[in-house]
Amino acid sequence: MSVVIDILLNEKISYAILKEIYDVPSNMVNQKNYKKDLDIVVNCSKNEIIDKFINHDNLLHIEKNSFFDKINNIRVDIYFKTLNVGYYHYLKIDQKSYGQNKIQDIEYLIYIILDPILKFSFYQNRHQYILNKYFNNFENNDLKIKLSNIIGKLLTNKLLDKLRIGDFYISNSFIKICKFRMLFINDNFVLMLRNRFFNATKI
């Protein structure tokens, strides 16, 4: 599947792939800008394995934790123990996911709810399709509980209420409040200060 997985297997490091829970029709995808990639969470710290990736002849280091697999012609985005966008680490992956080499459906749903608004500030067509499929078929109370642990109960209720009825417009002010709430989990506040201090010293 990827040189990255070969390296992880060789180093005996467990991993979990982010695999879509629903197949997204091609007409739901912007074919010009969207290229399917491999997202993978590894069960170790960055320092334990990153040099193996950077120094591998068949991996091109694109940026930060992203690589291009030359053999399989695919971009690979790597997460270390938690799903994150920048210094917003919002979900620690459960050990059970590493045992089955893929994240659980509930983890993927949290990813598809939070990642687009943190990264793009809106839901693309493929995100909307997946969320509509989920809310049209069933709803797991665990989703509300886990999401509440990340952004709080009030924000969770407001967000889920919108998504249930297919309202995918999320205001910038709402996103800012979500980001502020996330600063107080997973040491994100410390990570933010380190990031800003590092950038300030580069000026």
C-beta separation of 44 from 13 below 8 A = yes
Sheet holding 66-69, edge to edge: 15-17, 38-42, 74-80, 66-69, 59-63
Q: What average pLDDT does the segment 185-189 reach?
A: 92
| Beta bridge partner(s), residue 182 | none
pTM of the model: 0.90
**Cα distances (angstroms) measured from residue 16 to each of 44, 54, 85, 107:** 12, 20, 17, 11
| Beta bridge partner(s), residue 78 | 40
Q: Which phi and psi (to 5°) does residue 191 adopt?
A: -65, -40
pLDDT in tens, 119-176: 999 999 999 999 999 988 767 789 999 999 999 999 999 999 999 999 999 999 999 9
Candidate from 71-75, 132-136, 153-157, 199-203 with smallest mean pLDDT: 199-203
Per-range mean pLDDT, top range of 24-28, 56-60, 195-199: 56-60
CA distance 196 to 73: 34
Does 139 or 88 have the greater pLDDT score?
Answer: 88
